[in-house]
Structure 1
Amino acid sequence: MEDKFFVYALISAKDKRIYVGFSGDLDKRIHEHNSGKTKSTKGFRPWTLLYFEEVQGRDSARKKEKYYKSGIGKEFLKSLLT
């Protein structure tokens, strides 16, 4: 049986940028982003969860993450803001 993962999108309260990632423990990962433990997101705190979905397996999570980082995926995430 494959592990479950969460593909997620966070939005920065500082400048409204969107960050996409995946993790097996969503709550822990959001806490890491907001406590400054992640270099790439440290300067744009605080972060709020914009979107997430549960997927089965690391490979599926990577593919979904890549999709949401693409042009069409980012457009979908931005559409959630309006």
Structure 2
Amino acid sequence: MSARIYAIYILATRKDGPLYIGFTNDLDRRVAEHKSHEIKRHTAKYNIERLVYVEWFDDPTQAIEREKVLKKWRRAWKVALIERDNPEWNDLSGWGSEAAG
């Protein structure tokens, strides 16, 4: 039996555009929902669909706590976090399953 993998993720339109922070147990599915605008909320309204940052967790409670912390961060801190691992703000979608394994 394999352990569930949970992710917190950051989506963006571009470097100076709006950001969205979320939590999921299926990153590929969740990003696809954002990209298809299946969920008619903030990300659909502002076309926020580029996956620019991911952190993985075995424990959903830890992932949710991390999501809450990141949502309270100043924008500059979030930008620095993204640019530490993804300085070009490339779209990382499609790499979810491979990165978790």
Q: Indicate whether the TM-score tops 0.5.
A: yes
Alignment coverage as a number of residue pairs: 80
More strand by share: 1
Counterpart residue number, 2:96: none
SS at match of 1:30: helix
Match of 1:66 among 65, 68, 74: 68
Is 1:52 matched with 2:83?
no
Aligned residues of 1:51 and 1:77 also touching (Cα < 8 A) = no
Larger radius of gyration: 2
Query: Aligned equivalents of 1:59 and 1:51: distance in 2?
Result: 19
Change (3 A) 1:76 1:2: farther
SS at match of 1:3: coil
Is 1:7 matched with 2:8?
yes
Shift of 1:46: 4.8
Task: Give the unaligned 5+ runs of structure 1.
Answer: none
SS at match of 1:19: strand
Task: Give the unaligned 5+ runs of structure 2.
Answer: 89-101
The TM-score with structure 1 as length reference comes to 0.80
Is 1:41 matched with 2:43?
yes
2:5 partner amino acid: K
Aligned residues of 2:8 and 2:67 also touching (Cα < 8 A) = yes
SS at match of 1:45: coil
1:49 partner amino acid: L
Percent identity over paired residues: 26
